[in-house]
Amino acid sequence: MPNDNRKIVTTDAAPQAVAAYSQALVVGTFVYTSGQIGLNPETGTLVDGGIEEQTRQVLQNLSAVLQAAGSHLELAIKNTCYLADMSDFGAFNEVYGSFFPSDPPARTTIGVAALPQGARVEIDTVALLRQT
């Protein structure tokens, strides 16, 4: 039985879900995104380059999903970040910080053994909806 209190979010501006998950769900005044890796939404492949390029693409993908849901990165309240190599933390943090220049959301960063498709970074977000 579907839950009438949630709305599934999809957009072609971010990589499509390839398994049993949605790009995001809106529940009440919150948006919950699935994790994004540095996939180019047009090709479905990881962007060329290292942690900086992948982090930039991840945050662009999250931005597109949030916009489709009626939100924005500025309304993110909690990000969970997964790094395949914690030695990438400095470079990751520099790019990440450029997307949140003031009043950044709460964040957890976790080192993991591996990520899908050999990605170096994955991020999921909880954000507020824009107030209308």
What does the domain layout of the chain look like in residue ranges?
6-128
Q: Rounded to the nearest 5°, which phi and psi values hold at 35?
A: -65, 140
**Residue 99 corresponds to which amino acid?**
F
Q: What is the mean pLDDT of residues 30-49?
A: 96
Look up residue 7 and give its two tokens. Answer: 């709305």
Q: Rounded to the nearest 5°, which phi and psi values hold at 61?
A: -65, -45
pLDDT in tens, 73-112: 999 999 999 999 999 999 999 999 999 999 999 999 999 9
Q: What is the mean pLDDT of residues 40-44?
A: 94
Residues 106 and 79: beta-carbon distance below 8 Å: yes
DSSP state of 45: S
Residue showing tokens 């943090």 = 93
Residue 1 or 90, more confident: 90
Residues 55 and 42: beta-carbon distance below 8 Å: no
Residue showing tokens 């910080």 = 97
Domain 6-128, CATH: 3.30.1330.40
Predicted pLDDT at 2: 57
